[in-house]
Chain A
């Protein structure tokens, strides 16, 4: 069938053949000799077309069997469609061609009319793509980390497209049933999951979040990395952190238990001092109330004087209550509890607890605190415990015979992203080397005491992502630094 608008003669058609922008060739069915070829074919082979004509087509094939199989296919079907074959030009240039063949009759002789295209570059690109696809597939299949691929749909929801064997193993094959389902229905109970999917699309680079799921009553914690691959794919790594978190929690408990024991020991050590601290207001109350009794026996009763005395009694009762409350909180809290606290509050309360002990050792405690609150997310009692241990250490650092005025200075300040409490004494001090050693368990220069206080303190501070260290002062004594990062706003 021919479609034509103009009536051309043979010459016209010869021109069309010769100048066609595709490479064309005609070869004999018998003998396989190349009868005609056009200019474009010469370009493809990189030679003058005249060098090609008259040669057997087979001679251009790198592997002659390729020609044979092409001819076999041609004979069977009467055509060949887009076959890729490696060929070699007379000048030695090798390339891949894509060939399509049709049967024609030229003056009653059967011939093969072929259209040829150089597909070497296509082929390389495709191979490379196939290679990267294969690599990705291997990575996906054999990655020990559970991986899932989700694709965003028009509703802004995400459909599970694929998941790797690791994720099947992790979920007990549950997730395989999820292929084709949407995030909104797969995590029906957890709208936060879809919200996070949407969040990650707006981010450049991977985003991370820890999710806690319940599978049939069993709690699992996953640390998930979401990577958005434009235009519409999200790859999710989910690492099971359940065991790790459980161990961390166990460690937390162990630490809490140890710190509680340390606090009880500290309380034991301070109990006589604290008893005195409570006796003080109690004694004052007894004195005030006896005074009231005496005044009431007088003929003329001075009401305003009585009121004053009753106020004093109230003040003293509250003072005693304050001490027992601090003490009780300090001694009895066994379960760690984090909340937003002011470091200055902790310092003030500890200074009150320590006041009596300090007096006993003839030591003065001075505070120099920031006027604005130093807020951190921390366990109030544990921070207090650290301060108590550090201050006890400071109080006890003064040699028993030391005659000089004993002073402990507590300073709080903000330094960039960190909040600091510095406790310095003017005691006998220790060398640079020992400044680190005091945090070792069982290090003690004192006769009493096991030497666990400061090592527990350091652990407690580190569990708050903070640091606790000591450095000798220039003149005398030691300064212990407690540093806690300012967490800023709590994570959403």
Chain B
């Protein structure tokens, strides 16, 4: 078993204990005393997850997922907090927290959460790889068409934007749908949106 856990906690001793526990359980660890420090990272190991204390001096732990999205989308985050309010939990979950633990947390429970988070990231990684492969099967023209359609434009508008005929657009769309293995336009757009989210800022 391996993977990297990014530990963010402003209590030095607490941080140390997480590191020793995770270290003994075979994970690589990186630790940070604040969200700011953690957010300076630009290159991340895979698979990995973050264990973040909600109450931090400076930027709140709950802010991390949003700010991290551009550098490392979909990183599973396990929040841990001494006094989590319901609102915190809801916000954490909405921001895509993998889990929400209360301090003091039984170490077994913590390790289980970390294991799941790492597994999830591995899974994400595989999925992303597969999706990328699928996407790479499309020609450049097909990708252009699909992107514009996903933005909500009609076939006619796409045709005008690309300066091709209505039929050509339809043909590209049908081919792309076949390659991606979807049978309805809705499923098709949803899948494409997911691609875009996976690849983070690739489009925007």
Chain A positions near chain B (C-beta within 8 angstroms): 272-273, 275-276, 279-291, 294-295, 309, 312, 315-316, 319, 359-360, 362, 364
Write 24 A-B pairs (CB below 8 A) sorted by A numbering: A272-B83, A276-B83, A280-B13, A283-B14, A283-B105, A284-B13, A284-B16, A286-B105, A286-B106, A286-B107, A287-B17, A287-B110, A290-B21, A290-B108, A291-B21, A295-B24, A309-B20, A312-B20, A316-B17, A319-B13, A359-B10, A360-B55, A360-B83, A362-B57
Chain B positions near chain A (C-beta within 8 angstroms): 10-11, 13-14, 16-18, 20-21, 23-25, 55, 57-58, 82-83, 103-108, 110-111
Closest Cβ of chain A: how far from B134's Cβ, in Å?
A: 41
Interface of A is mostly: helix
B13 touches A294 (CB 8 A): no
B57 touches A286 (CB 8 A): no
Q: Residues of A contacting B20 with CB < 8 Å?
A: 287-288, 291, 309, 312
Kindly report which residue of chain B lies nearest to residue A319, judged by CB atoms.
Answer: B13
Interface centre among A285, A288, A362 (most CB of B within 10 A): A288
A287 touches B18 (CB 8 A): yes
A286 CA / B103 CA spacing, docked (Å) = 11
Kindly report which residue of chain B lies nearest to residue A282, judged by CB atoms.
Answer: B104
Closest Cβ of chain A: how far from B204's Cβ, in Å?
A: 28
A291 CA / B107 CA spacing, docked (Å) = 9
Q: Residues of A contacting B83 with CB < 8 Å?
A: 272-273, 276, 360
Q: Residues of B contacting A319 with CB < 8 Å?
A: 13
A272 CA / B25 CA spacing, docked (Å) = 32
Q: List 4 extra interface pairs beyond A276-B83, A288-B21, CB under 8 A.
A: A283-B103, A284-B13, A291-B24, A359-B55
Closest Cβ of chain B: how far from A365's Cβ, in Å?
A: 11
Q: Residues of A contacting B82 with CB < 8 Å?
A: 275-276, 279-280
Closest Cβ of chain A: how far from B8's Cβ, in Å?
A: 15
Interface centre among A273, A280, A285 (most CB of B within 10 A): A280
Kindly report which residue of chain A lies nearest to residue B60, judged by CB atoms.
Answer: A362
User: What 5 pairs across the A-B complex have the smallest Cβ distances?
Assistant: A283-B104, A290-B107, A287-B17, A276-B82, A284-B17
Q: Residues of B contacting A286 with CB < 8 Å?
A: 104-107
Contact pick for B14, options A275, A280, A309, A360, CB 8 Å:
A280
A316 CA / B107 CA spacing, docked (Å) = 16
Interface centre among B11, B17, B82 (most CB of A within 10 A): B17
Kindly report which residue of chain A lies nearest to residue B102, judged by CB atoms.
Answer: A279
Closest Cβ of chain A: how far from B106's Cβ, in Å?
A: 7
Q: Residues of B contacting A360 with CB < 8 Å?
A: 55, 83
Closest Cβ of chain A: how far from B48's Cβ, in Å?
A: 20
